[in-house]
Structure 1
Amino acid sequence: MCLRVLTPRGFDVALAEDGMAAISRLSSEKFNLCLIDVRTPNMNGEQLYSWILEHDLPLAKGVIFTTGDVASGETARFLASSGRPALPKPFSPSELLEKIQEMVAGL
């Protein structure tokens, strides 16, 4: 959905299937925004965010989390402590675009 919604609006979108693949891309490419699923295989969103804080602090300001786990106290605590915006799943294309546009305007 990210590709279908954001690419026609001029955004360059890169995908990573899990946190380890994301680190590989983040280590070799420059990004302004990062949409991170809290629950991913091999490395969860919290671990990926910690890596970003350590290795690319400016990108940390462009992180948006997604999660289908809005009921978990652990997830809620993490999201609150991160101070980053979150999109609860399922989200609509318009909600995604709105959140991305808010982030771009704030950078």
Structure 2
Amino acid sequence: MSDILLVEDNEMNREMLSRRLVRRGFSVRLAEDGGTSLRRVAEALPDLILMDMTLPDIDGLEVIRKLKEDARTRDVPIVVLTARAMPEDRARAFAAGADEYDVKPVDIDRLLEKMRTLLARRAS
């Protein structure tokens, strides 16, 4: 069972997506902001992080940069989940260090495919 850290400030989105992931066999931990996400990662390294870009305290892109600069966390795959669908938003996410990018509303099959690809790559 893969451990997923879901970082999402919208409670409804957080609960809906976490339930869907748990039903598909993932263990899901939650964070509602960037600071909490950094604490959760320090407590236990997740297998993959789903990261919202717009967070109330530390911007999701800044959290990604911090994680990718740290030798302990740089190999944890990060999928950006955002309502921002412009090409420049995608480019900013990848420039910050995101491994994958997906837009809301979440298409669960598309997201699961991206997650499985990243988890398989990390396991090999």
TM-score, length-normalised on structure 2? 0.74
Higher helix share: 1
- Aligned residue type for 1:102: T
The answer on whether the counterparts of 1:2 and 1:13 sit within 8 Å (CA) in structure 2 is no
Hey, what's the Cα distance between the residues in 1 that align with 2:119 and 2:90? 24
1:12 corresponds to: 27
The answer on whether the counterparts of 1:34 and 1:64 sit within 8 Å (CA) in structure 2 is yes
Hey, what's the Cα distance between the residues in 2 that align with 1:51 and 1:105? 24
Q: Deviations over 1:55-90 (max 9, x none)?
A: 31121xx111011112273x2331242362101111
Hey, what's the Cα distance between the residues in 2 that align with 1:76 and 1:98? 18
The answer on whether the counterparts of 1:67 and 1:88 sit within 8 Å (CA) in structure 2 is yes
Match of 1:29 among 38, 41, 44: 44
Higher strand share: 2
**Which sections of structure 1, spanning at least 5 residues, go unmatched?**
none
- Aligned residue type for 1:4: R
1:105 corresponds to: 120
**Which sections of structure 2, spanning at least 5 residues, go unmatched?**
1-15
The answer on whether the counterparts of 1:68 and 1:88 sit within 8 Å (CA) in structure 2 is yes
2:95 counterpart of 1:78: no
Alignment length, in residue pairs? 104
1:44 corresponds to: 59
**Does the residue aligned with 2:115 lie in a helix, a strand or coil?**
helix
2:106 counterpart of 1:91: yes
TM-score, length-normalised on structure 1? 0.84
Hey, what's the Cα distance between the residues in 2 that align with 1:83 and 1:8? 25
**Does the residue aligned with 1:34 lie in a helix, a strand or coil?**
strand
2:18 corresponds to: 3
